[in-house]
A and B are shown apart, each in its own frame.
Chain A
Amino acid sequence: MKKILNDPAAVVAQSLLGLAAAHPDLLRVTTDPAVVSRADGPRPGKVAVVSGGGSGHEPLHGGFVGPGMLDAACPGAVFTSPTPDQIQAAVSRVDGGAGVLLLVKNYTGDVLNFETAAELLAADGVDVRTVLIDDDVAVRDSLYTAGRRGVGATVLVEKVVGAAAEAGADLATCERVARAAVAGARSMGIALTAPTVPHVGEPSFTLADDEMEVGIGIHGEPGRRRERLTDADGVVAALLEPVLADLPFAAGDEVLLFTNSMGGTPLLELYLAHGIAEQSLVDKGITVTRRLVGPYVTSLEMQGMSLTLLRLDDELTRLWDAPVRTAALRWGA
């Protein structure tokens, strides 16, 4: 393992100190419990939007804390969901009395910990709602799995809900916007290499030079199948086809196309893939009206990418365009 690292056990806390140092105007950060919150919170009368999850997916979620997006984030250990008292601490730091919306990626651990926290918060009189994000089409959603994983759509949901809350929407409206975005988003990812978890010290799986893992998540868990690595056209097709077929997206749809690097794939390759995906959508009569390209929902240093499509209507487009000022996403503000 080669990493810029002191103590693997302190990697999350030490990284959070750096995040705080980089954005003193924007963020307040504590390491015990680990919470990233808006410097200007709590905002009285505003719905608080809180998310969190395992670390290792940076800039998710701490990089999306700030005006127009999240009020607070609670980072767990690497690839491990945060604990209930961490989530409660995050909420208490930003609860402005207008209710709290928890945005939770659908993984067993995240769901259990956020569920416990939500029960404890409700017992304390906080008006708290939870929306699960489950956009990964690689997982069959059935009684026989833990349900689909939350992956790329997470950043899109956090952006539009954060915009709604910033504009003064009430808790029910924020919840409705979140559910609409989740319902209209689908994702799929591939890996070319595996990530190495700092406290494990070796790659989570091994792939030969000519192999790719199709249908991966963001935690180094193996995907659904292993295939021979194809060229970029083949990779994009392997991602786009199941995404399009699932919702399904159809000619005439307006969409946001999010081309995401898993951390190790450089922008040179990512833009190349994005261009192919855009052309492929044009060929199918689907209009790409908004885009996001970059490493936003990562899996440590894993090489690989995911494609997320979000079907847009006027409301979601307006919320996407609204000003945002966070460490990782900024425009209009």
Chain B
Amino acid sequence: MGCDARAVAAAVRAAAAVVTAHRDELVRLDQAIGDGDHGENLKRGFGFVVQALDESTPDTPGAVLKLVATTLISKVGGAAGPLYGTAFLRAATAVGDATELTPELVAKALRAALEGVVARGKAEVGDKTMVDALAPAAEVGSLAAAATAAERGAESTIPLVARKGRASYLGERAIGHQDPGARSTALVLRAFAEAAS
């Protein structure tokens, strides 16, 4: 199946639905080690993304990704807005004007997204952030494998002490909790993988 702008837009809508369905879970994860706003903020942000896609569906995959990025940056706030926004913006730039996404372009987009998040948030693998999910996802070939890698990566944050973000204030009290940003990253990638299959 071709992965054109419409297919990418459908995948983004699927991700929005998954984020909305998992809002309460993300809120609970964030309450444990942060301030409890992650689920609500992502739900709100992806709600605006769906609204923007309803108003106009751009004609290339890159333009869809860019619309997602600018909407998230301008509507979400918090750390998630700029970080998710940067990930989508770099992915958009990486795929350029291509009318269809090939597996190679998807892999390139994932690597670019990771580089963007690392540059903006200055987190490394092991800091208990979304990078722990995104970094292993960027190393594999397909979206399905990326989603699985991201899920494992998110689970790997459970025993960690946080070194970035609000959870870092807690010291060892963050141990035993999954990072909400890593969890939401895995959820979004799984939604993309299922939409593309």
Contact = CB atoms under 8 A, between A and B. Distances in A.
A221 B77 contact: no
B185 to A, nearest CB: 16
Contacts of B173: 222, 224
Interface in B32-48: 33-37, 40-41, 44
B27 A200 contact: yes
Contact of B37 (A80, A108, A116, A146): A80
Interface residues on B, range: 20 to 34
Interface string A44-79: 000000000010000000000000000000001111
A144 B75 CA distance: 29
Contacts of A200: 27, 31, 36, 40
A109 B31 contact: no
For B27, B77, B165, B168, the residue with the greatest tally of chain A CB atoms inside 10 Å of its CB is: B77
B98 to A, nearest CB: 27
Contact of A112 (B33, B74, B83, B168): B83
Given A108-B166, A112-B82, A217-B169, A80 B36 contact: no
A127 interface: no
Given A76-B77, A108-B121, A112-B120, A219 B166 contact: yes
A14 B76 CA distance: 19
Interface stretch (A81-89, A90-98, A173-181): A81-89
A214 to B, nearest CB: 12
A82 B77 contact: yes
Contact of B168 (A82, A109, A144): A144
Interface of B, secondary structure class, is helix
Contact of A145 (B35, B44, B78, B169): B169
A271 interface: no
Contacts of A143: 163
Interface of B: 27, 31, 33-37, 40-41, 44, 73-83, 120-121, 161, 163-166, 168-171, 173
22 contacts: A76-B77, A76-B78, A77-B40, A77-B77, A78-B37, A82-B77, A83-B77, A107-B166, A108-B121, A112-B83, A116-B73, A116-B82, A139-B168, A145-B169, A200-B31, A205-B31, A219-B35, A219-B166, A220-B35, A221-B34, A221-B169, A224-B173
